[in-house]
Structure 1
């Protein structure tokens, strides 16, 4: 545990120091996010922040003696994703170009035997996915990578939610005694927290695609390395619960765009965080509410991980009931109530 804490501190301090330098580099390379009709910020912002997070992550792993060569496919896949993100931050790549590189990065990880090998289904038992390993794993990696990318719309939102998700990974890795997951997660936590100091509202630098894609990729891979490797009732649902907020936002975005006969890759300004601001929440309060929702998913997942079969089923029904009630209630009233309560305090 002392080694893991050291990795956290090293990556935190390194990212804290290097991020301002990355900001200056972004300005020189013209990796700048220009405001437009679908964006919230009002002035050009450097967006190469992911490079600092990645470098801090790698330095942290080296310092604590992480077995990099034993996990080289994960590091290579992450490096490929960061290079993709840097190019997109500078040149603005087309969606299909980004998908091709993400597909290659996912295949690199699969080649390293990081995959969804089996699922434990209630009343059925362990199901071998030998035939479907590659497509399911690739789809999971690309889906989660882009879900974190899509939720990156407010200062500190994607980085903060990624921090919460990885923190849940830490807790579950401690419970399940998964040392490799613990080392990766602790170092990644430090990198994210060091960057979040510069990225929380009002941000001085954005993650950019170099950061949001990297964080999404690492979250997807760590979940494959840990959560899907346990033969428990909850192993099927656990990753989905932990990543519930970005997944929900992604599915709603896809449904919304298909309904409007738009490309699923077409950007818009109707994500959940945009809706919260439209309902009257300030930038900071919208982000904090999203943090709270993500943390709630994380707490549910931790409880879920220890549930027995019948407890899991009953808990699932309870969550469905509460979600249905919340959906049918006037969401606008809830937001305004929270807004008034926050202002009074």
Structure 2
């Protein structure tokens, strides 16, 4: 197997998804699968859904083209990939039905569990992990149910984060690319790099039509499929190994949607709301409310996801230590600088964009309404907004801010 196999899967996946997406949009309109305004998104409604069908086709055809020429892939690994594709077909059907008929959350959850159970039953399973400083942790008989739970979690994380043009497709493409690089460096996971290439290519091909202003949405069809496939790549490409970084890498690569979902779910639990209820508290909602355009919000979140993915790849490829845990001073310093830079950028997004700019813009709005307000009163208003998540659209009178 050579690097050309994942590249072929990527290019074919891109071409197929880019070509089929407009046709899928017409199909969605014909069957009535169009977006309606919901609490989770920022779109006005009326845009066709089912874009995930084009992504599914891109991944499937990319795999069909690349796999026959791939050498040094065992029969068991090919069977695992086939099981992943079969489960992908199931979740695609579930997502398409949900996009058209709005399935009950429990019915959708049942479909997710069924899709995840297919590859897990064929051996796509995590039986143990290696934790830093703690060593190996064996799951014994709980490996299969925990792996199914992991698949379902990633599906829902991606689905919940899909609320603005191009966000889910771009972040998932970045994640697939990073996971593909990591998988390629592992002899036991190189077959997963082909799937990662197909996922990355199909996501970018769909993004051609989904970047703001989007002409089509992936819907639950695409969001759940991408989450499912990324989970499959992570399990086959890194998590099943005995390396210490096996679990760290996918967690870093998917950190942005995981942090976003965790933040939103905690706020819903605090408010006593069902966790599946849509709201306006995702990162992209909050950044949009403080004045950024949709494109700028998405590009910032791409940069955040990309920087975290870069750290994950660097931890795998940079020779900062050997197998005996001896650390090279130079390369360890390089990794440290990269990690610090990414932490600084993360702090910039979370603190400066979310709080500092909010205070500046809120002060302008409040002082226009009440010129005598003190700095303390303005700080109190910002504190209340951040705690409750009820941030007003404070740039209505300043449409050029953040554009």
Q: In 1, distance between residues paired with 2:150 and 2:39?
A: 31
Shift of the alpha carbon at 1:304?
A: 2.7
8 Å CA contact retained: 2:157, 2:227: yes
1:1-345 correspondence to structure 2 within 5 Å: 1-36=3-38, 38-66=40-68, 69-177=79-187, 178-305=189-316, 308=321, 331-333=354-356
Q: Which moved more, 1:195-204 or 1:295-304?
A: 295-304
Shift of the alpha carbon at 1:238?
A: 1.8
Q: Deviations over 1:141-192 (max 9, x none)?
A: 1111110001100110000000000010122123324321111111122111
Q: In 1, distance between residues paired with 2:248 and 2:348?
A: 21
In 2 relative to 1, CA 286–116 (structure 1 residues): closer, same or farther, beyond 3 Å? same
In 2 relative to 1, CA 288–215 (structure 1 residues): closer, same or farther, beyond 3 Å? same
Shift of the alpha carbon at 1:47?
A: 0.5
Find the structure with the greater CA-based Rg.
2
Shift of the alpha carbon at 1:69?
A: 4.4
CA RMSD of aligned residues (A): 3.0
Q: Could you tell me which runs of 5 or more consecutive residues in structure 2 were left unpaired when the two chains were aligned.
A: 69-74, 361-394
8 Å CA contact retained: 2:287, 2:353: no
The number of residues matched between the two structures is 343
Shift of the alpha carbon at 1:100?
A: 0.9
The TM-score with structure 1 as length reference comes to 0.90
The TM-score with structure 2 as length reference comes to 0.77
Q: In 2, distance between residues paired with 1:63 and 1:277?
A: 41
8 Å CA contact retained: 2:292, 2:401: no
Q: In 2, distance between residues paired with 1:132 and 1:222?
A: 20
Q: In 1, distance between residues paired with 2:167 and 2:277?
A: 20
Q: Which has the higher contact order (CA 8 A, sep 6+)?
A: 1
Q: In 2, distance between residues paired with 1:327 and 1:5?
A: 35
8 Å CA contact retained: 1:47, 1:89: yes
Q: Deviations over 1:63-89 (max 9, x none)?
A: 223575453321111111000000001
Q: In 2, distance between residues paired with 1:36 and 1:72?
A: 36
8 Å CA contact retained: 1:50, 1:209: yes
Secondary structure at the aligned position of 1:119 is classed as: strand
Q: Which moved more, 1:304-313 or 1:277-286?
A: 304-313
Q: In 2, distance between residues paired with 1:314 and 1:141?
A: 31
In 2 relative to 1, CA 152–297 (structure 1 residues): closer, same or farther, beyond 3 Å? same
